[in-house]
Structure 1
Amino acid sequence: MSTSEFPLPDVGEGLTEAEIVSWRVQAGDTVVLNQVLVEIETAKSLVELPSPFEGTVTELLVQEGQTVDVGTPIIAVSSGDGAALAAAIGGDPDETPAAALALAAEQADDRPGAVLVGYGIKGGVTSRRQRGGQQPAVATESGSAPIAIRPRSVPAASASNIIAKPPIRKLAKDLGVDLTEVGPTGLAGEITRDDVIRHASQASLFHNIETPPWSDEREERIPVKGVRKAIATAMVSSAFTAPHVSLFVDVDATRTMEFVKRLKNSPDFAGVKVSPLLIMAKAMIWAVRRNPTVNAQWTDSEIIVKHYVNFGIAAATPRGLIVPNIKEAQELSLRELASAIEQLTITARDGKTPPADMAGGTITVTNIGVFGMDTGTPILNPGEVAIVALGTIKQKPWVVDGEVRSRFVTTLGASFDHRIVDGDVASRFLADVASVIEEPALLLD
């Protein structure tokens, strides 16, 4: 019988520390290969660490809520003869535990059923435990753009007269939405997918702004750690490293709204979430091709212009702001891009965005319109040189051919790194994005 201590591994790019959020095992438990041992919070995301070994848990060396450095022993496990432990991870019995754990990580992709430590179990990962009985909040910034057409007022239904298709009922269950509280906007009085998502988004927003009862404590102190610490560090670094220049433009988005409506009714987009954010993403990718220097990176010695687009979407999650990105977005069709945005939203909402999905972004959109904001001055995502904010889309008076008409209007706000992007390039890029929002048919070019 031998007992070994295993250190906290580096599960991300340059990870230095992580917080132990919740243990999934206790002393005395028998663990098997790929069983989730612990959930940790890094500066980027929540990560479940699967076991690369088999044995019996002898001791948990770190308490929940404690932040430890990479390399710190976090769990002690005993195995029958040492050889069984080594065999479980494909290593040598004489190797140190740290070396064996590293070997398991290196070989993870080469062995059936094995995984890279920190990135979950192939074939399904145990769901994150919900604390406090709260449902996961919707990542509204990344997921759903505002629907400017207000739904008709319909009284809330009772459980017996709800009209909703099975997929809509499942979506509502997954989002924690009570269908009796959702006002239907379907032509036959049925609850639509947009109704459920809109309700979930508003519930998340209003949950955050509800006035809580006064606490008996005069002050509350919240430790700065994890994602919040990473956000603060990144924003300060971005604001004081890259000289920002910002531009704004009002846009007639009426044809975008019409286009979105047609896509929703198209059989080719059945089962896929479609919103104005999809057209915004496609517009930015189209504009990048015409103005490539907005899709670049600054280093001390050179400017790296990237001829691919890893499209980032700022997402408001229960743990704070994160910016996952869609890899090689320029290669995706409109439907593929819609599916990718929807999957990104679901993953972020569930707190399951892996570090790899937040690395390597090249340009970002932030959808502040879902909060009813007309525009804002976005701060660059570190390492990028352009970001665009999509404001709310709502009906306003607009002059068309000399006549004042009611149109759907939005405001685009964009920030650029002035070390790379000059005013003329920034202006042309934002004008190109605006032109697609005004006339989506340009995407056919």
Structure 2
Amino acid sequence: MNQRFALPDVGEGLTEAEIVTWKVKPGDTVALNDVLLEIETAKSLVELPSPYAGVVAELLVAEGDTVEVGTDIVVVDDGSGAAAGPADPGPAAEPAGEPAEPAAVAEASPQPAPDGGSGATLVGYGSREVAPRRRGARTTREPAPAPGPAPAPGPAPGAPAAHVLAKPPVRKLARDLGVDLTRAVPTGPGGTVTRADVLALVPAAPAEPPRRVEQHARERHVPIRGIRKATAAAMVESAFSAPHVTVFTTVDATRTMKLVQRLKTDPEFAGIKVSPLLLVAKALLVAVRRNPDINATWDEENQVIVVKNYVNLGIAVATPRGLLVPNVKDADEMTLKDLAVHLNSVAGTAREGRTAPRDLAGGTITISNVGTFGIDTGTPILNPGEAAILAVGKIAQRPWVHKGKIKPRYLATLGLSFDHRMLDGESGSRALADVAAVLEDPARALTWS
């Protein structure tokens, strides 16, 4: 029996996702929970396992397509031998130009069997009860009308296309290519227009819709979606909701650089990447302990400032798909070695695009290491909900007055942006001064503990 698998919400409020890579093709045999494909959400890459065992019958969307949650994406024949029901045109039967209502996520997973046994569940998503549907939502899959003879070409371009049956990805493809769906001769189940039907009207069109559309030789148009779209929304929210103030200081980090070199040869840190960022993170954790108000959240609804007694330390990471800020949970309770291991882990996972949603949520304060790009410093924008963010510039040798003489020293410029609703200039300046003091003399991390 053909089972249709719809794009599920993977647990982060997902409304749509881009199909990045199919791991299977029609005719492949899959076992329960075998990975079917990779999708890109607004935060990371996610692998979707199969809720069925059987043979892949059809891939309903192509790599590069962006589809809504609840849209059928693949058909798997589970070999049950039961007669397959007619294909469901699903949300594509809605009038053109009106967004179709996504099917409930619960439809993505098999429901419990009549005998009391439970159906298959997507790994990592868990089973969920089917919530009552709001009035007007589809509760059953109605069989599509039996296919009739292929209709003649539709009315001239510009005529209403409300009667055209086509799935959302096919409609999007038609819009991208400037194709009038009413001219398409449907060849899909139930008289639906397929991708092939659309492409047949544009002989020169590429087999896949372009992910980066070249509109002109002098311009490149990049779709705003995924991580870039989420980052833009977060930055606008932060910039226009929290009054930012940034303070700066230049620090002599020569002793920090010497300690980094010693740790690299320390047997206790064998196999662990040690960089100045590790000691910057430690310095910020010390500053939070001495200035707890920089580790807080503004609660507008309850009109309180929530000061956190724990530190989930965020690290801004540049990835091929955009900026991610995973965080190290309870970083303030870790030894220096454990902190190094976790910093390397969250950064590496983020660059691979495989950060779990929980690791991107719940951050309390953040470090932005712009020095890795050769930048002296910057005025970072707060992560929404956080009181402060530290920018660390490049650490390089420059002339500096040390013990009354001009000597080459390792210098770095630090910038601390903070929410002026929660912190005044004194509080923010004291916190930044503490970070600088620890980097100038790392032994203070012990004496101030």
Q: Deviations over 1:41-73 (max 9, x none)?
A: 000001111123212222222222111222222
Q: CA deviation at 1:405?
A: 2.0
Measure, in 1, the Cα distance between the counterparts of 2:297 and 2:228. Answer: 24
- Shift of the alpha carbon at 1:402? 2.6
The answer to whether residue 225 in structure 2 is matched with residue 225 in structure 1 is: yes
In structure 1, the residue matched to 2:63 is 64
Alignment equivalent of 1:105, drawn from 125, 131, 141: 125
1:359 equivalent to 2:361? Answer yes
Secondary structure at the counterpart of residue 415 of structure 2? strand
Match of 2:284 in 1: 284
Partners of 1:251 and 1:434 within 8 A in 2? yes
Q: Distance in 2 between matches of 1:70 and 1:61?
A: 14
Q: Distance in 2 between matches of 1:422 and 1:383?
A: 17
Distance 1:420 1:104, change over 3 A: closer
Equivalent residues in 2 for 1:315-334 (5 A)?
A: 315-334=317-336
Q: In structure 1, what is the equivalent of residue 72 of structure 2?
A: 73
| Equivalence for 1:272 | 272
Question: Pick from 361, 375, 378: which aligns with 1:376?
Answer: 378
Matches for 1:146-165 after TM superposition, within 5 Å: none
Check conservation: 1:309, 1:362, Cα contact below 8 A. yes
Please state how far the C-alpha of 1:312 moved relative to its aligned partner.
0.7
Equivalent pair of 1:91/1:103 in contact (CA under 8 Å): no
**SS of 2:309 mapped into structure 1:** coil
CA contact (8 A) 1:397 1:404 kept: yes
Change (3 A) 1:101 1:8: farther
For 1:104 and 1:337, the matched residues in 2 are separated by 27
Residues 300-357 of structure 1: per-residue CA shift (max 9 Å, x gap): 1222211111111111111111111111111111011111112223212222222221
Rounded to whole Å, the distance in 2 between the matches of 1:410 and 1:243 is 26
How far apart are the structure 2 equivalents of 1:105 and 1:321?
25
What is the CA-CA distance between 1:93 and the residue it aligns to?
2.3
**Residues 63-93 of structure 1, C-alpha deviation per residue, up to 9 Å, x if partnerless?**
221112222222222223399xxxxx89622
Per-residue deviation at 1:431? 0.8
Using the size of structure 1 for normalisation, the TM-score is 0.70
Q: Which amino acid aligns with 2:113?
A: P
Q: CA offset at residue 103 of structure 1?
A: 9.7
- CA change 1:339–1:102 in 2 (3 A) is closer
> Larger % of helix: which?
1
Deviation at 1:100, TM superposition (A): 5.8
- Work out whether 1:303 is the aligned partner of 2:305: yes
Which region of structure 1 is more displaced relative to structure 2, 7-16 or 233-242? 7-16
Q: Which moved more, 1:51-60 or 1:320-329?
A: 51-60
Question: Counterparts in 2 of 1:195-210, with a 5 A limit?
Answer: none
* Alignment correspondent of 1:399: 401
Tell whether the 8 Å contact from 1:238 to 1:379 is kept in structure 2 after alignment.
Answer: yes
1:92 aligns with 2:112: yes
| Partner of residue 388 from structure 2, selected from 379, 382, 386 | 386
> Does the 8 A contact of 2:33 with 2:123 survive in 1?
no
Cα gap change, 1:278/1:104 in structure 2, threshold over 3 Å: closer, same or farther? closer
| CA pair 355-422 structure 1, distance change in 2 beyond 3 A | same
CA contact (8 A) 1:390 1:411 kept: yes
Mean CA deviation greater in 46-55 or 31-40: 46-55
What are the equivalent positions in structure 2 for 1:163-182 lying under 5 Å apart? none
1:226-268 deviation digits (Å, cap 9, x = unpaired): 1111111111111111111101001010110111111112111
Alpha-carbon contact 1:90-1:104 (below 8 Å) kept: no
Q: Which residue of 2 aligns with 1:435?
A: 437
Q: Which moved more, 1:294-303 or 1:434-443?
A: 294-303
Shift of 1:279: 0.2
Cα 1:338–1:102, aligned 2, differ >3 Å: closer, same or farther?
closer
Instruction: Provide the rounded CA distance (Å) in 2 between the counterparts of 1:223 and 1:396.
Output: 43
Per-residue CA deviation, residues 93-115 of structure 1 (Å, 9 max, x unaligned), is 259xx99657983259xxxxxxx
Checking the alignment, whether the CA contact within 8 Å between 1:310 and 1:363 is kept in structure 2 is: yes
1:19 aligns with 2:21: no
Kindly tell me the number of residue pairs found equivalent between the two proteins.
Answer: 332
Structure 2 CA distance, aligned partners of 1:257 and 1:378? 24
Q: Counterpart of 1:105 in structure 2: which amino acid?
A: Y
Partners of 1:392 and 1:104 lie apart in 2 by 40
What's 1:255 paired with? 255
- For 1:373 and 1:215, the matched residues in 2 are separated by 33
- The 8 Å contact of residues 60 and 74 in structure 1, kept in 2 or not, is answered as yes
Q: Structure 1 residues 35 and 102, CA, compared in 2 at 3 Å: closer, same or farther?
A: closer
Distance 1:278 1:296 in 2: 22
Within 2, Cα distance between the matches of 1:90 and 1:39? Answer: 20
> Residue 228 of structure 1 aligns to which amino acid in structure 2?
R
SS of structure 2 residue aligned to 1:37: strand
Change (3 A) 1:228 1:426: same
- In structure 2, the partner of 1:234 is 234
Question: 1:215, CA displacement in angstroms?
Answer: 11
Match of 2:427 in 1: 425
SS state at 1:105 partner = coil
Q: Which residue of 1 aligns with 2:90?
A: none
Give unpaired runs (5+ residues) of structure 2: 83-108, 129-213
Give the deviation of 1:28 after TM superposition: 2.3
Does residue 32 (structure 1) correspond to residue 34 (structure 2)? The answer is no
Residue 220 to residue 103, structure 1, CA distance change in 2 (3 Å): closer
- TM-score of the two chains, using structure 2 as the length reference: 0.70
1:7 alignment counterpart: 6
User: How big is the shift at 1:404?
Assistant: 2.0
Percent sequence identity is 59
Contact 2:263 2:274 (C-alpha < 8 Å) held by counterparts: yes
**SS of residue matched to 2:383:** coil
**Aligned residues of 1:19 and 1:68 also touching (Cα < 8 A):** yes
Per-residue Cα deviation, 1:2-28 (whole angstroms, up to 9, x for no partner): 222222111142221111111111222
Hey, what does 2:352 align to over in structure 1?
Answer: 350
